[in-house]
A and B are shown apart, each in its own frame.
Chain A
Amino acid sequence: MSNVVFILLVILFFSILLTFVVKQSSKEYILEEQSAKKIALAIDAANPGTQIYLNLAKVLEKNVREEPITIQGNIVYVKLTEKTGYGYAFFNNVNVEVVKQGNGKIMDENGGVLFRVR
């Protein structure tokens, strides 16, 4: 009996640790920073006429806002919650549009977001 309790406790202990590690890696502020930098670098490397398709499903599942990704001037802003947010600048002098899908949202059914560089 004590062996069963011990094994259950071990499983519980490692489950808690695993949950902590997974939760820590998907914190909003980390996802915002990563995705803002990823988008900015993709824009930096793009020529006018390019369409960039990024899979941001993992990021946007945390989103509670109407427009989580905005581009103002040469800065990419990713803001998933009201309290957090991250902006990163790109040096490529182009106009970038975050394309809205048919459902009025920026993310399509596969979790992808389309950026149009002009």
Chain B
Amino acid sequence: MMINLKINRKGDERVLSMYWFILFIIVAVAIVSAVLIFYSYLLDVRSTEAGILSDRVADCLSDNGILNEGKLDEAVNNIEGACNLILKDESKEKYSSMKSQYYIKVEANGKLIESGDRDFLAYCGQSSKVNIPVCFEKKLFVLNGNDFVPIKITTVVRKVEQNAKG
């Protein structure tokens, strides 16, 4: 009777250590795969970048809340020069052959300003945010004489290869 009891206890320990071994393997695989998946994704900063770009355009076209008409007229012809921007990105070889990685559209005081690659505008409002350009829209009112004038700024940043897993 005693011999049987000892054999059962050993058997229990074996089953228990086997159970622990399997449990440890499952935990290890889960943690390793979670960490690898997490770090395989690129850091997506495009929405922040598009936000900063629209802020720069807004600061450029208005001065303390008052519409800068001189700058606005200058920006109609060349927003890059007027607002001190470089919309050409050559940080990747693929980008060199492309028109731009940015798009800016400004509607203010009955004037339309566009710069960059207009094709990116088609991606704005899409539900999928993966592997497509990121859009940012900003609306503000500025003073022009005694009237409030709306300014609508739309900025789009592509840079898919650097910010989204593709």
Contacts and interface: CB of A to CB of B under 8 A. Distances in A.
B15 interface: no
B21 to A, nearest CB: 10
Contacts of A41: 45, 48-49, 52
B43 interface: yes
B49 A44 contact: yes
Contact of B53 (A24, A73, A88, A91): A91
Interface in A1-20: 2, 6, 13, 17, 20
Contacts of A21: 31, 35
A45 B27 CA distance: 43
B42 A93 contact: no
A33 interface: yes
Tell me the dominant secondary structure on chain A's binding face: helix
A25 B101 contact: no
B86 A93 contact: yes
B131 interface: no
Given A21-B31, A24-B35, A89-B101, A75 B90 contact: yes
Interface of A: 2, 6, 13, 17, 20-21, 24-25, 27, 30, 33-34, 37, 41, 44-45, 73-75, 87-94
Interface of B: 13, 17, 20, 24, 27-28, 31-32, 35-36, 39, 42-43, 45, 48-49, 52-53, 55-56, 80, 84-92, 101-102, 162
Q: What 4 A-B pairs come out closest when comparing CB atoms? A: A89-B89, A89-B91, A87-B91, A93-B84
